[in-house]
Structure 1
């Protein structure tokens, strides 16, 4: 695709985040299965559900602009998912608490990618006067921030303490 306008970039980046969400949802479901801390498992389930909500929103916005949400493949998230495999799923842990601490680390890296993507798309939508899109993207951005903060609370509240013991 040749980019000739901010709208072209806007659509491309929403498609990128859609792809990132699809990949991170599958990885998050695997992280959920590997987790042992009950609060962490609940947060990962909620994260997976939230990622799906974001995908649904992005799909609606992108289709509303006459485009296909699946026209892009996010290589950035592909790399982060490889990190999930390398540092959690394919790694041996002698301590479940240590694994849970690493799960939070890898989840938050994926969440930060989503935060950056949603933030950029929201800024583009504002500049393009797409007020309905701004509102929808702002909800996705807030949900991503909330999920990230919740993971930090779990890490600092119990998981990291248990992993350090």
Structure 2
């Protein structure tokens, strides 16, 4: 049974644990998705995403330690669902360019979940007087935005164009 959220700190902790789980899921699942990508820029971005997930775990672990609370516990069902859908799309993609386009979309969906999460957590941390934690979470937010922008550029200027020209 889930605990009651009595204040903003409780909400911060619950959503922080969900983001921690999202980053852990990425660490586990993205290497498999990386193997299915064919575009070299996409592979480099996925590698950045993996490194960023490791950094996010570190930031969140540091926050939990500073607040003297357990860091694990909440499952990020959104992330779990996106990863499951991504694997299904990869299996069904007959063409490498279409598969790369699907992978970009999926990683952006993961990023958007984390962008909203880190944005909210940054704000919550400031409100509960944890400016140092907020600063680290803001760094994670900016990195997620940067990766998202790079994925959008890659999709728009290269991958989607190649996928659109596929005729089976």
TM-score bin, normalised by smaller chain: over 0.9
Contact 1:57 1:136 in 2 (8 A): yes
Alpha-carbon shift at residue 70 of structure 1 (Å): 1.2
Counterpart-to-counterpart distance in 2, 1:84 and 1:94:
14
| Cα distance, 1:93 vs structure 2 | 2.5
State the 1:94 CA deviation.
Answer: 2.4
Cα deviation, residue 2, structure 1: 2.1
- Equivalent-residue separation in structure 1 for 2:51 and 2:86 (angstroms): 19
CA RMSD of aligned residues (A): 1.1
Alignment correspondent of 2:156: 156
Q: How does 1:49-128 map to 2 (within 5 A)?
A: 49-88=51-90, 91-128=91-128
Q: Within the alignment, does 1:16 sit opposite 2:13 as a pair? A: no
Query: What is the match of residue 130 of structure 2?
Result: 130
Quick one: distance in 1 between partners of 2:5 and 2:95?
A: 49
Q: Which residue of 2 aligns with 1:40?
A: 42
Structure 1 residue runs of 4+, over 4 Å off? none
Gapped regions of structure 1 (runs ≥ 5): none
Aligned-partner Cα distance in 2 for 1:8–1:45: 33
How many residue pairs get aligned? The number is 163
Indicate conservation of the 8 Å contact 1:28/1:107, yes or no.
no
What's the secondary structure of 1:71's corresponding residue?
Answer: coil
Deviation at 1:98, TM superposition (A): 0.8
